[in-house]
Amino acid sequence: MRSKAALKYAATKLYDKGVLYTIEGLPSAQLKNVQFIFLPLENDGMFEISARFMGVDMERVTVDIQDLLKLQYEGVSVTDMFGKAKINVNLLLHFLNAKFYGK
C-alpha cells in the first residue's frame, strides 16, 4: 500500500470526477460543504469512508473493495453509501485503486 494516511476530498471534487452522483436531501449548491474522508484500514482492501458536513462528522461506513468488485461483476453501476449518497461503483473502485494502490 502506498500510504496509510487518510485522504480528504470535497464532495464537489468527487462529483466533478463522476464518483458521486447525488446526496439525497442536499441541493447541489451545498455539496461544497460536504467532505469525504477515505481511511485505509489494517486489513487490505478495507476502507473507512466518513462524511462531514460543515466540519461536523455525519456518517461513517466501512467499505470492502471485494464487495465493490462483486457489485461491478454483477453489473451494478450505482450503489448507496450512508443510505443517502449515490456512488458510481466503477469510478469509486478506480479512485481507491489510483489513490491507495497506484504507483
Interval 22-36 mean pLDDT: 90
85's grid cell: 449518497
Interval 1-9 mean pLDDT: 73
- First and final CA of the chain: distance in angstroms? 10
**Count of helix runs (H) and strand runs (E) in the chain:** 3, 7
- What's the confidence (pLDDT) of residue 63? 93
Domain boundaries, the chain: 7-101
DSSP β-ladder status, 34-40 and 7-10: antiparallel
pLDDT in tens, 34-91: 999 999 998 888 999 999 998 888 889 999 999 999 999 999 999 998 888 999 999 9
- What's the confidence (pLDDT) of residue 1? 45
- What's the confidence (pLDDT) of residue 101? 85
Q: Which residues contact 47 (CB under 8 A, 6 or more apart)?
A: 38, 39, 40, 41, 62, 63, 65, 96, 100
pTM of the model: 0.87
